[in-house]
Structure 1
């Protein structure tokens, strides 16, 4: 099958996940093209059987270039789409990342494109995101240091392996109903003392 993996990455986290997905599906014999979203001509993408679209989580949603890509997305008959995001929050299903899934799902359903999966994992934040988290979410210094120790190691080997398996599973279940959703839980606990 012919697969496109198109992604938007600023810090390299989403690109690492895209490469892992490429490795996962190419070793199963699929032909894979990988491109940055900003380098891809939208138009009709009729030559692909599956498209994986990746983004960093920006302001609780996918990044603007990914939103634009999704709005203009046109695919051929039988093509399926899966989305993936990297984020800097330890709660991958919470208010800080949940809109990403909704955007992928909504845009695909509006175009009658089968939405087959969503992958989410932690990524090392950029300095502005790190500052935002420290100022607004994890204000206490000891807790923030714990958070940084955790987040700066991602995506790790386990995240990359999960990305490979996710992509393989999306391709093996193209014809079935349902959406494959993968969230990795990260162990992070805040001290309750002030």
Structure 2
């Protein structure tokens, strides 16, 4: 599983995952995806799992906040490169990179508004990339994010007794909502 990193490139907005990676060496997939695909082909890989950074597509977290065309172009290029080389894309929609704009606006996953915004983001991905992506992972390790995400500087105050359960509940609802949209609109 690879996240593309480079949070300050291509119009990407800040994401919560950036706080955890600050000062860490960056994954260079954003600039070197063709080299990555070449290596995958050389090693006869037939699939590649990667995540789409929500803040790269929607820097402000919502459709009404604007879609970043440079982000769409990046993922189209990556997916096209994979498909052209006979490698199936396996896409993770959420890998701990909630747009900071949503964390700031309503305390992120602690608010039920997260479900609506996540569903809209997932729908954008299905609509934009679904002609080439048949394998979707809605949430990477939701139990990890629910249990630890809100104990790591994502909120002003931490209530370890209730926050993980609220976040887990909203993650389950978001997963179910995205799956419903996919099944009703895009599944063949």
Normalising by structure 2, we get a TM-score of 0.43
Q: When the two structures are superposed, what TM-score results if normalisation uses the length of structure 1?
A: 0.42
Give the structure with the larger strand fraction: 1
